[in-house]
Every structure is written in structure tokens, then in C-alpha cells.
Amino acid sequence: MTRAKRPMRLALADGTVLDGFGFGANVESGGELVFNTGLTGYQEVLTDPSYRGQIVSMTYPHVGNVGVNPEDMESAKAHLAGFVVRELSPVGNWRSRQDLDTWLAEQGVAGIEGVDTRSLTRKLRETGCTMAVIGPASVSRDDLVDRARSMPGLEGRDLVAEVTSSVPRAWTQGCWELGRGYIEGVNDAASAPHVVAYDFGVKWNILRRLVTEGCRVTVVPASTTAEQVLALEPDGIFLSNGPGDPAGVPYVVSSVRGLIGKKPIFGICLGHQILGLALGGETYKLRFGHHGINHPVRDESTRKVEITSQNHNFCVDVQSLKGRAVVTHLNLNDHTVEGLEVPDANLFSVQYHPEASPGPHDAGYLFRRFVDRLRAS
């Protein structure tokens, strides 16, 4: 059955208005507009809590062609504010359980298709991320632009509180295996290294990777204090990805500062930025961020280049950390810091996503490195 066209508009705070057709939820929504360069993995993007408060535009022209299925979820629901594509595909492959249009409608997320997303990407690269609104064509262009201009930005906002766990919980699901699916009930023995994982908006495959590498995992809310974490008697501490500005969660920075040197620590994405702040450094906002699964990163110790999956708008200021941490990885596109280490405190972190969901597997060794340190200590 042919889907009826529903005229919609994408209005940017700079006055740009793009016409298209709506899909997903028939609602008006707004957020910070960013672009993602991934050719695959749109369902993982949609369910990544790190996109809270953002409208995501995909540069790949055909989106929706593999449908939606429960195995590719990275959290319990979609978190982004809106979705922009060049063309929505109604086709689903053999793994599909639902088409993207219907699923987004159930999730309450507005989408717009028929937009020249590559031109939009060039604009964002030149002028930077901007607030935007997806709204019906029945609303005037000027009104939609005014609504975009009135929206609060991400700087200083605590978006972590909107996506974190409400109570501590055990995580025992391992990675997906051919013919078996996700393996349940893994490493619940007391002899397994115990990792307490801060949930700042953690992706499920990160937790699966920790379990598959042999860890017993306890997930805790972002508000958990250092004293409460240490009371759980962990062998190591993991700091997860998450949305927004690391400077917007000073209570988390304070807790992490109290854990440095007490146990081995591994941080990813927002967790990496929070570690930078906890070490006394500073962070800043990138012009258009890093969002995609094809970012080259160089390991400074081996000089090897990894192709990485990334999703962040903020970055650690390496100059502010001189003498406090060693830079271990660099982004080869813009030479921003992608990894830090403090050997004396047994902590390290990376800005990118080594769990490869979606994305390449080049950086999977980092989970093994963390577990090796847990066993050694």
C-alpha cells in the first residue's frame, strides 16, 4: 500500500527552510541538527541515547531498506528528537520485523524525507551545528524559524539525567552469536572480574562486550557517588557514552574524581570527556561534531590507524591536560584528541566507540586491554 504524502518542513535557526514529506510520528519536534555519515546502522543510531536532544540527518540517500528488528536495538527506545533522510525506503530484509515509518510513529519521533541531505551536510560543515525544527507545512516558514531560534542549545544542559538508569542492575547478556543470538546469563560467577559501569546513556553492545570479555557487570545510575561505587567492591570501573555537554554534569565529574587512582578505569565517549574534566582539564564544543562509522584514528603508541565509529559534539582540550595525562590516540581528520591515559592511576579512555555497533571492529582490543588490567590488578 502506498503511503500518503504528508508535507513537512525542516526549519533552521539561520533562516533556512527545506520542504519535504513527513514520516514517523505526526508531531512537531526540535533539537540540535547534526549529520551522520554512516552507510549502515540507522537503527543503532536511532536507539543510541547519545543523540538525546538532537535531530539526525543521514548523508546516505536511502534509509529504511532493512526495516527494524529487536536484535539491532542499542537501548529500549529511540532517543533522538527527529530524523532527516533523502529517501525513505519501504523495503525490509529477512530480519525485519517492522518498517521504519511505523516504528518511528510508535516511538513518537518525527521524520522528514525528500530533503537534499548532502547539501544540508555541506551547510552544517561550513556553518556548524544549529538548532532546527521539523514541523507541518501548514505552519508558516517564519514561525518555524522563530521556534528553532527560541530552542535552548545543548551547552550546559544535563541530558544524562534524562537517559540514565533509575536503579542499579546486573547485566549478564553477552554478544550475538550466529545460530544462537544474544547469549544470556554469562559471567555471573563471583570469580569473574566485577565491573561497575556508570550509565550515562550506555549502549547495550558496550555492556555485551564487557560480558563477553569475561566480566561480571553491575550498571549504576549517573548519580551514584564514588563511595557508593566503591561499596560495591568492583575490580574496575567503566564510564559510558552519553548525550550532551560534559560540563553539564558536574556531579558526575565530582564522583569520577573521587575514583581516580582507587580502581582501574576505562571511559568511552562522554566518559572520556568526563575523565578529562575530572583530571582538571577542559572541554569545548566542536563546530559540527563527529558522527559516523568511518573516522580514522591513529594509535600514537603503535602508529597504526583504526577506522572508528563516533558520535559526539564535545572534545577534551588537550592543552589543558598537559602534564596530567598522555594522549594515546589522535583523530586524523582534525587532529583532536581521541584517547587519554594516566598510567600511574591505571586509567585510560577513548573518544570513539570500540563496541562496533554499528561500525568497524578495529578498536575491539580496548575491551581486552581493560580486562587484562583488571586481572593483573
By annotation, the residues acting in catalysis are 269, 353, 355
- Are 85 and 38 spatial neighbours (Cβ–Cβ below 8 Å)? no
**Burial class of residue 191, CB neighbours in 10 A (0-12, 13-18, 19+):** exposed
> Could you tell me the CA-to-CA distances from 272 to 2, 86, 126, 300 in Å, in that order?
46, 33, 27, 17
Q: Widest CA span of the chain, in angstroms? A: 63
